[in-house]
Structure 1
Amino acid sequence: MLSKNQLKRFTKLKQKKYRDAEGLFIAEGKKLVEDLLKRGAEAECLVTHQDKEATSKYVQVDENDFKRLSSLDNPSGTLGVFKKPQDDGRSDGWILALDGLRDPGNMGTILRCADWFGLSRVVCSQDTVDCFNPKAVQASMGSVANIRVEYCDLRAFLQEEQLPVFGTFMEGEALEENPLPQEGILVLGNEGQGIREETAAVIDRKVKISKHPLAQAESLNVATAAAIFMAALPTRK
């Protein structure tokens, strides 16, 4: 069983400052936990409150203690405390950049899509939501362990990188009009405000997803747009 100190320590991981200090994050649900283990993620502790899951691999706690650890409205009964993956230095092909993204569900979905389309690196502005937020981890379906995610001064990063920078805008050049190069940086903005002005100032080329003439929707969800843009990127060999 968990000690009182462990329970207190792991419960604090709901907050970013403690995740950063400990280098740990929580993933909930047996499928997600097992998937992270298969991907090579290192578990600090695996926890359950279900008798049938109480094996040598899982530590059993009572339901009340499990609810203290969980961030879900309806806890699944299984969670893992994992060590944050180490930066492996991968940075080939396209880089995805996120400018002020705030919704953890969008973050997780974007990481899952990046994993699917073969991107290995995501660079975020300092005010972008934490990729290890429990909801982001949940939405990533384990892909948070496969993608190199870093937080920095995004404008400075874009200026220093020797790669063409593409920004997603409503008034940009249609994706199908000109082929994209084999490598570059694709910038996506905040859900409501888009890419901020200071970031837009260092973008080389504005691109957009063409809207059907009969469409009534004003815009696309940023995670949906990210998937469409990533699908259009040249395939990595």
Structure 2
Amino acid sequence: MLSRNQIKEIRSLKQKKFRQKYDKFVVEGHKTSIEFIKSGTFQIENIFALESWSDRYYDILGKRSDLLNTISEKEMARISLLTTPSDVLLVCKKPELEVKLPLKETSFAFYLDDIQDPGNLGTIIRICDWFGMINLYLSPETVDEYNPKVIQATRGSICNVSIIRNDLARLKSLLSCKIIGTDLHGIPLKTYHWSPGSLIILGNEGKGISDSIQPLLDDKVLISGANQKIAESLNVASAASILAYDVQKN
């Protein structure tokens, strides 16, 4: 049976200040939870599951079976951060990641400048996983990667992508890489030649790339659209997908 303190702490992890206070976050949903359990990327502190889930997936837990707490549907509803509770919930520890090495000459990465929508961040993490971009850099102002909505949107891909939050000016000196931004007056993507080891900036959903970052850009690229288009811009996650594909292709 869950204690009152356990319920209170888990529920509090919906808020960023408590995720920071406890250095913990919540994972919900069957597929995402399975990926977290299988990957071993994150330290799992507790696994809370309904009896039906426990009986069916006990074998995959391995050494983590001692972390399993079988609870009732009523208890799951009390700790779940979802509108419709899942049959399994994990409480995980946040990892400590530091920038130690330059960006490899054969690799590329995104830097997210003040991205605010959790769904966009989660989708971009999935895009990075799909295209083998193993590092993702976030500005200090970008939405928390351990926000429950972000974790849900990644569908487990966050286990394959290292996320580092830092100021771009500091990153540029640490990574020794070329900084590429997107801009309506940039070089058309179809004619641009990517330099290995580039860091690609994706700007805020409404404002684009911050004024403070503009002087740090080495190049600007344009994702061209149709001449008769009505849309004024692309969703940032859509832009990320196009850029990741173009980088891989070239």
For structure 1, which segment, 156-165 or 30-39, has the greater mean C-alpha deviation from structure 2 after superposition?
156-165
Q: Contact 1:159/1:202 (CA < 8 Å) preserved in 2?
A: no
Alpha-carbon distance in structure 1 between the residues aligned to 2:235 and 2:173: 27
Give the equivalent residue in structure 1 for 2:134. 120
Figure out how many residues of one structure are paired with residues of the other and give that number. Answer: 235
Shift of 1:161: 3.7
Give the equivalent residue in structure 1 for 2:48. 47
Q: Which one-letter code corresponds to 1:117 in the other structure?
A: F
Provide the secondary structure at the position in 2 that maps to 1:198.
coil
Alpha-carbon distance in structure 2 between the residues aligned to 1:122 and 1:115: 10
Provide the secondary structure at the position in 2 that maps to 1:150.
strand
Give the equivalent residue in structure 1 for 2:113. 99
Give the equivalent residue in structure 1 for 2:209. 195
Give the equivalent residue in structure 2 for 1:66. 76
Give the equivalent residue in structure 1 for 2:180. 166
For structure 1, which segment, 63-72 or 165-174, has the greater mean C-alpha deviation from structure 2 after superposition?
63-72
Q: Contact 2:31/2:156 (CA < 8 Å) preserved in 1?
A: no
Provide the secondary structure at the position in 2 that maps to 1:169.
strand
1:145 is aligned, of 148, 159, 181, to 159
Give the equivalent residue in structure 2 for 1:207. 221
Alpha-carbon distance in structure 2 between the residues aligned to 1:67 and 1:43: 20
* Runs of 4+ displaced beyond 4 Å: 88-91
Give the equivalent residue in structure 1 for 2:62. none
Higher helix fraction (1 or 2): 2
Provide the secondary structure at the position in 2 that maps to 1:14.
coil
Q: Which one-letter code corresponds to 1:27 in the other structure?
A: V
Q: Contact 2:11/2:81 (CA < 8 Å) preserved in 1?
A: no
Q: Which one-letter code corresponds to 1:17 in the other structure?
A: K
Shift of 1:144: 1.4
Give the equivalent residue in structure 1 for 2:9. 9
Q: Which one-letter code corresponds to 2:29 in the other structure?
A: G
Alpha-carbon distance in structure 1 between the residues aligned to 2:226 and 2:43: 46
Q: Which one-letter code corresponds to 1:12 in the other structure?
A: S
Q: Deviations over 1:9-40 (max 9, x none)?
A: 22211111222232221111111101111111
2:93 matches 1:79: no
Q: What TM-score do the two structures reach when normalised by structure 2?
A: 0.85
Q: Which one-letter code corresponds to 2:140 in the other structure?
A: Q
Give the equivalent residue in structure 2 for 1:36. 36
Alpha-carbon distance in structure 2 between the residues aligned to 1:162 and 1:224: 27
Give the equivalent residue in structure 2 for 1:179. 193
Alpha-carbon distance in structure 2 between the residues aligned to 1:114 and 1:187: 14
Change (3 A) 1:155 1:67: farther
Shift of 1:234: 4.0
Q: Deviations over 1:73-126 (max 9, x none)?
A: 222232111222443867531121011000011001001101111111111111
| Percent of paired sites with the same residue | 36
Shift of 1:206: 0.7
Alpha-carbon distance in structure 2 between the residues aligned to 1:74 and 1:228: 33
2:220 matches 1:219: no
Q: Which structure 2 residue ranges, 5 or more long, are not aligned? A: 59-64
Change (3 A) 1:62 1:100: same
Shift of 1:173: 1.1
Alpha-carbon distance in structure 1 between the residues aligned to 2:75 and 2:228: 53
Alpha-carbon distance in structure 1 between the residues aligned to 2:130 and 2:32: 16
Provide the secondary structure at the position in 2 that maps to 1:192.
coil
Alpha-carbon distance in structure 1 between the residues aligned to 2:32 and 2:93: 15
What is the aligned-residue RMSD (CA, Å)?
A: 2.2
Q: Deviations over 1:129-164 (max 9, x none)?
A: 001100000111112122121222233433554211
